[in-house]
Amino acid sequence: MEEAYDCCFSIATMITIFLLVVVIRVVYVFYRTGKPLSSKSSKPRSTLIVLGSGGHTAEMINVLSVMQKARFTPRFYIAAATDNMSLQKARVLEDSLADEDKKVPAEFMQIYRSREVGQSYITSIGTTLIAIAHALWLMLRIRPEVILCNGPGTCVPLCVIAFLFKVVGIRWSTIFYIESIARVKKLSLSGLLLYKLRIADQFFVQWPQLQRKYTRSQYVGCLM
Amino acid sequence: MGWQCGLKLQMGEIEQKRKTVFVTVGTTLFDALVKAVDTEQVKHELQRRGYTHLLIQIGRGSYIPDKCEGEGGSLGVDYFTFSSSIAEHLRSASLVISHAGSGSIFETLRLGKPLIVVVNEDLMDNHQSELAEELAERKHLYCAHPQTLLETIADMNLESLLPYPAGDAKPVINLINRFLGFPDD
C-alpha cells in the first residue's frame, strides 16, 4: 500500500518537475525572443524566405535585392503548392546573382495549403492536418537560423513550428515579419497572430499609423 | 516622294495625338469596373478630356465591352483578357484606371503615370481600399468606386498629383543585420 503510494507520489513529482521545466523553458524563449543576438560575427546564417502571391512576393524580392546575400546563406524559398509564379520570381532573382553570392545554390520548395479558397470546412480539417505534417517535415529539413516572411497565410504554421523548435532546443530561429504595404490601418490576420502570440522577433510595418497602433512594431518606411 | 513625306508626317502627328486610357482588372475579374468604363458618359468624358483610345484588360470577367475603331472622332475602344506585356501597355498609356491590387498600383506609380484606382467592393476581405485611400490622401493617385468613376474623371486635376518616391528596403535590412549581430558595412 505504502509502496504504491510512494510510486504514485514519485510519478506525480516527476510530471510536476517536467511541466515546470517546460514552463520555465517557454518563459525563457518568450523572454529571449525579440532580443538581439549577442554574438557579433559575420558567419552566414541559413535563411528561410516565405513567399506569397501577388504583392507579397514583389515586396520580398525588393528586400532580398538589397540584402547582403553572402550573410544569408544557404537560402530556402517556400511558396504555396498552388503558386508557381512566386518561386519563378525568386529563381529569376537567384539566377541574376553574382557567382560569389550563390556558391551554395538556393532551394525552392512548395508547401500544401491548409485550405484553398472555396474549400468546405469539413474537408479542410483533413487538409489542415496534412499541411501541418508537411510544414513540420520541411522545417525539420531546413532548420533555418533566420526566417523572413511578409504575410501569406503559409508563414503562420512555419513560424509556430520554429517557435516550438526553440522551446525544444532543435534550433534557435530568428523570425522577422514584414507586414505588407497594403496594410495601412490594420494588420493582416497572419501579422496579427504572430504579433499577438509574440512569435516574431522583429515586427516591421510600412506605415506610421500602423506603428502607433501596434507599439511593439517598428516603422521602416515603404518598401515599394 | 513629297506626298509620302507628308503622309509620314501626318502618321507621326496621329501617333503623337494618340492618348490611350489603359484599364486593368488584374489577375482575376472586376466586371463592375469594366461596365463602369464602358458607359457612354464615361467614354464621353474621357474624350472630352482629350483621350483618343480606350484599352481594357478584362481578365476572367464575363462582361464584354463594345469594340470601336475610333473613326470619325469617336473614342477607339479595344479589349483583351490577359497579356504578358502589361508593362508595355502601362508605359504607352496616358492615363491608367486600375483595380486596387498593390502590384498594379506600384507598377503604374513607378512609371509616373496618372492613376485612378477603382476599389472592388465585392471582395470579401476588403483591405485593398486602405492602400488606395492612403495613397490618394497623399495625392499620388485618385481613388474611386465603380459608381463614382465618372465624377472622378470629370473632377480630376492631373497636374495636382505628386510623383511617388521610390521605396527603400535599406532601413529594414539595416535593422535585420543589427539584430543578427552582423557588423555594419
CB contact under 8 A, B169 and A146: no
Average pLDDT score over residue span B88-101: 96
Q: Which stretches of chain A are DSSP H helices?
A: 2-32, 55-66, 85-95, 121-142, 155-168, 189-196, 208-213
Would you mind telling me the total number of residues written for chain B in this entry?
Answer: 185
Tell me the three cell numbers of residue A9: 507520489
**CA distance to A66, A74, A75, B175, per residue, from A201 (Å):** 21, 21, 19, 12
**CA distance to A40, A94, B127, B181, B182, per residue, from A43 (Å):** 9, 20, 40, 10, 8
Q: What is the pLDDT of residue B4?
A: 53
**Average pLDDT in chain A:** 91
- Selected residue with higher pLDDT from A38 and B130: B130
CB contact under 8 A, B182 and A68: yes
CB atoms within 10 A of CB A11: 10
Tell me if B123 is assigned to some domain: yes
Of the pLDDT bands very low, low, confident and very high (cuts 50, 70, 90), residue B1 is very low
pLDDT cut 90: percent of chain A above it: 71
Residues spanned by the domain of B48: 2-180
Of the pLDDT bands very low, low, confident and very high (cuts 50, 70, 90), residue B156 is very high
Give how far the C-alpha of residue A191 lies from the chain's centroid of Cα atoms, to the nearest Å: 11
CB B76 within 8 A of CB B52: yes
Q: What is the pLDDT of residue A193?
A: 93
Query: What CATH number did the domain enclosing B94 receive?
Result: 3.40.50.2000
**Average pLDDT in chain B:** 90
Query: What CATH number did the domain enclosing A156 receive?
Result: 3.40.50.2000
| Same structural domain, A119 and A186 | yes
Q: What is the pLDDT of residue B2?
A: 46
| Same structural domain, A50 and A26 | no
Give how far the C-alpha of residue A180 lies from the chain's centroid of Cα atoms, to the nearest Å: 15
Listed residue (B119, B116, B107, B100) closest to B164, CA to CA: B107
Q: What is the pLDDT of residue B14?
A: 54
Residues spanned by the domain of A24: 1-32
Residue A69 neighbours by CB under 8 Å, 6+ apart: A75, A97, A101, A102
Give how far the C-alpha of residue B60 lies from the chain's centroid of Cα atoms, to the nearest Å: 18
Tell me if B113 is assigned to some domain: yes
CB contact under 8 A, B172 and A204: yes
| Same structural domain, A148 and A212 | yes
Residue B123 has pLDDT above 80, yes or no: no
C-alpha span between A69 and B17 (Å, rounded): 47
Query: Number of A:B CB contacts under 8 A?
Result: 97
| Same structural domain, A16 and A44 | no
C-alpha span between B66 and B35 (Å, rounded): 10
Dihedral sign computed on CA atoms, order B2, B5, B11, B13: negative
Identify residues of A whose CB sits under 8 angstroms from chain B CBs. 36-42, 45, 54-55, 58-59, 62-63, 65-68, 71, 146, 148, 174, 176, 178, 180-186, 188, 201-202, 204, 207, 218, 220-224
pLDDT cut 90: percent of chain B above it: 77
Residue A208 has pLDDT above 50, yes or no: yes
CB contact under 8 A, B168 and A55: no
Which amino acid belongs to residue A212? R
For chain A, the C-alpha Rg in angstroms (whole number) is 20
| Same structural domain, A70 and A129 | yes
Q: What is the pLDDT of residue A100?
A: 75
C-alpha span between B69 and B111 (Å, rounded): 28
Average pLDDT score over residue span B128-133: 92
B163: preceding bond cis by omega (within 30 degrees): no
| Same structural domain, A7 and A52 | no
Tell me if A224 is assigned to some domain: no
**What tens digit of pLDDT does each residue of A134-161 get?**
999 999 999 999 999 998 888 999 999 9
> Which chain B residue has its CA at the smallest distance from A185's CA?
B130
**What tens digit of pLDDT does each residue of A50-67 get?**
998 768 899 999 999 999
- Selected residue with higher pLDDT from A82 and A200: A200
- Selected residue with higher pLDDT from A54 and A47: A47
Average pLDDT score over residue span A64-88: 92
Domain count, chain B: 1
Q: What is the pLDDT of residue A4?
A: 79
pLDDT cut 70: percent of chain B above it: 89
C-alpha span between A175 and A178 (Å, rounded): 10
Q: What are phi and psi of A38, to 5 degrees?
A: -80, -25
Domain count, chain A: 2
| Same structural domain, A90 and A28 | no
| Same structural domain, A42 and A72 | yes
C-alpha span between B172 and A20 (Å, rounded): 38
| Same structural domain, A45 and A14 | no
CB burial string B88-115: b at 16+ within 10 A, e below: ebbeebbbbbbbbbbbbbbbbbeeebbb
Tell me if A90 is assigned to some domain: yes
CB B8 within 8 A of CB B16: no
Tell me the three cell numbers of residue B96: 491608367
Q: What is the pLDDT of residue B125?
A: 62
Of the pLDDT bands very low, low, confident and very high (cuts 50, 70, 90), residue B16 is low
A93 min Cα distance to partner chain B (Å): 16
| Same structural domain, A91 and A128 | yes
| Same structural domain, A21 and A104 | no
Average pLDDT score over residue span B126-131: 84
| Same structural domain, A74 and A2 | no
CB burial string B50-66: b at 16+ within 10 A, e below: ebbbbbbbbbebeeebe
Tell me if B185 is assigned to some domain: no
Tell me the three cell numbers of residue B41: 458618359
Tell me if B167 is assigned to some domain: yes
Average pLDDT score over residue span B24-53: 95
State the burial class of residue A75 (Cβ atoms within 10 Å of its Cβ: 0-12, 13-18, 19+).
buried
Average pLDDT score over residue span B157-179: 95
**What tens digit of pLDDT does each residue of B138-153 get?**
999 999 999 999 999 9
